[in-house]
Amino acid sequence: MPQDHSSAEAFGRLATELQDADGVDLTVEAVVQFALQAVWCTYASVVLVGRGRKPQIMALTDPRLAKLDETQIQAADGPLLTVIRDQAALLIPDIAADRRWPGAWADALIGEGIRSAIHLPLLVGGSARAVLSLYSGEPNGFDTDDLAVAHILADHAAVAIAGARREVDLAHAADARNLVGQAIGILMERYDLDNARAFAVLKRYSQDNNRKLRDVAQELIDTRKLSNRPIRTDQGPAARDA
């Protein structure tokens, strides 16, 4: 049972902690630590859904959970993947009696003393961006009140993680713009190009070498030259390397 189901103050503190957390890593760590207090669970974890819908383990209250989650991710099967696919919460009252995921999944959890679990999708814009997993060492370790509190926690976590990821994306975008701007400046000075032409040269080099524009800009800034193929400053023959 949760320690205090009616404590709006506890969730208020969580909201403050999540807002103050610096970055995605600290945000998800705050979520799993709060889960141990808000829901009577033995362990908790958060798995983020990355590019290509590939899950990525981000926070664990016990290192033994890493292998259990990674087994499901590598097999592309198990309750974690089911929650991501169905975008709906999943309660497993008794892992020993569950037959939905045959194989080593149940044996592995039982071997670690885990007997029941809740998996909740952290939904942003109708899509599962992460999964919050809560585990108990007892069969039927979660009741309806636990599930209700877990849903509230998942809602808070989804908003916080989405905000943290958005800040990271904005920071990366700003950093990329800065790098590209510096690289353009180098090309303008070296080849006597205007801004638009220098950007076109950098972009074409990126495409010709199948590399991200940010990475090409970083190389030019770091080494003052570009490897592989020469830089072309016009539509004619290639110029010498920068």
Task: Please compute the mean of the pLDDT values over residues 59-81 and round it to a whole number.
Answer: 89
27 vs 85: which has the higher pLDDT: 85
Whether 115 contacts 138, CB under 8 Å: yes
* Cα separation of the two ends of the chain: 66
Task: Say which residues have a Cβ less than 8 Å from residue 190's Cβ, sequence separation at least 6.
Answer: 242
Asked if pLDDT for residue 114 goes beyond 90, the answer is: yes
Asked if pLDDT for residue 219 goes beyond 90, the answer is: no
Convert the pLDDT of each residue in 2-48 to its tens digit.
Answer: 444 445 556 556 655 656 556 677 888 888 888 888 888 999 999 98
Q: Within 10 Å of residue 146's Cβ, how many Cβ atoms?
A: 22
Please tell me the predicted confidence (pLDDT) of residue 158.
86
Q: What is the DSSP letter of 112?
A: T
- Note the helical H segments in the chain: 8-20, 24-38, 64-75, 79-86, 104-111, 144-191, 195-208, 213-223
pLDDT band per the 50, 70, 90 thresholds, residue 238 = very low
Please tell me the predicted confidence (pLDDT) of residue 136.
96
Task: Please compute the mean of the pLDDT values over residues 56-81 and round it to a whole number.
Answer: 89
What is the C-alpha to C-alpha distance for residues 77 and 101, in angstroms, rounded to an integer?
Answer: 7
Task: Say which residues have a Cβ less than 8 Å from residue 124's Cβ, sequence separation at least 6.
Answer: 158, 159, 161, 162
β-strand pairing of 43-49 with 55-60 = antiparallel
Please tell me the predicted confidence (pLDDT) of residue 5.
45
Asked if pLDDT for residue 161 goes beyond 70, the answer is: yes
> Whole-model pTM?
0.65
Q: Which domains does the chain have, with CATH numbers?
A: 8-164 (3.30.450.40)
